[in-house]
Amino acid sequence: MKMELVTLIDKLAEEHKLSKEEYITLLTGCGSEEAAYLAEKARAEKEKYYGNNVFIRGLIEISNICKNDCYYCGIRRSNPNCERYRLTEEDILECCREGYELGFRTFVLQGGEDGYFTDERLVALLHSIKANHPDCAVTLSLGERSKSSYKALKEAGADRYLLRHETANEGHYTKLHPAELSWKHRMECLQWLRECGYQVGAGFMVGSPYQTVEMLAEELKFIEEFKPEMCGIGPFIPHKDTCFKDEPAGSVETTLLLLSMIRLIHPKVLLPATTALGTMAENGRERGILAGANVVMPNLSPASVRKKYMLYDNKLSDGAESAQAKNELEKRMASIGCTVVVDRGDAVK
């Protein structure tokens, strides 16, 4: 192993921060041995707070109708090949009932920015979910909304909110999104969510077009500063109906390095091994957990809509990715020494 890198890894594990230059050194210099050492440190840090527990979230994709036109995303509004759907309130409550039976204690309602889901409708839905399942957490992942909306949804019982910032670099953001979307506004939304009292999830894609290693170092500086309670990262994967269809996918190895580094920066973070990671690599989620992740989010959407929520090509939704195959997930996690728990899975204080 390169001693310079070992020293940096030890420093990161102790001080939970590095300079931008040091992050670049690690990101560019780590070979497989250094990555294994980094992962070992990250696992030890995770185990201090979470032991070998893996938290699960039932992911309900409530609508793929979206008013935005993000250049990388398969459900962007200008994709005519995307078959649109929207779940009814009854569909969503049925998913929660089924998920509860399966042992899920967090439900994530994720969707495109679909104007149908007004505050009024979401508040009613949250009241119903919380009345049916008072021991469960509800996470929303519904994009940019007003501060008053975030506040109303929090008061109606939402516990957490996922809003990936997508990139910490403003110039990069403008290359991934049309002009009507702004990085400053996205960051403002994250601030509002925190002010409203949510456990907040940020996150970014690894290997998105135009991303440089300097930008990845900026991502890590952003995590140091903002300290999101949750951080969703996964490799960029091209979608055939988007501007970026011919761009290369992000690297699995770099994603794993970043998971380990994020764990060391913010030891108590809730860190998912994402579907994108599972899509890009055989045993991708297990490798993510071994790199320091502690959350997986199986798909709890009705089987009839799963193939329609195609953010990127070949997105997994069956096998161990499906909530109904929780047994298989448990086996896979047991094979790496981890236990799937029936728990809300809040971040430790």
- Nearest approach, Cβ of residue 131 and ligand 5AD (Å): 28
- Nearest approach, Cβ of residue 1 and ligand 5AD (Å): 31
Minimum CB distance to ligand 5AD smaller for 73 or for 140: 73
Residue in this structure with the two tokens 């069956």, named with its chain if needed? 318
- Closest-CB residue for ligand 5AD? 312
Minimum CB distance to ligand 5AD smaller for 203 or for 267: 203
Minimum CB distance to ligand 5AD smaller for 72 or for 104: 72
**Residues of the shown chain interacting with ligand 5AD in the complex, contacts defined by CB under 6 A:** 72-73, 164, 166, 205, 234, 236-237, 239, 276, 311-312
Minimum CB distance to ligand 5AD smaller for 209 or for 267: 209
- Nearest approach, Cβ of residue 4 and ligand 5AD (Å): 32
| End-to-end Cα distance, the chain | 35
Minimum CB distance to ligand 5AD smaller for 50 or for 72: 72
Q: Tell me the CA distances in angstroms from 248 to 198, 214, 237, 293, one per residue in order.
A: 35, 19, 7, 24
- Nearest approach, Cβ of residue 162 and ligand 5AD (Å): 8
Minimum CB distance to ligand 5AD smaller for 164 or for 172: 164
- Nearest approach, Cβ of residue 277 and ligand 5AD (Å): 10
- Nearest approach, Cβ of residue 330 and ligand 5AD (Å): 25
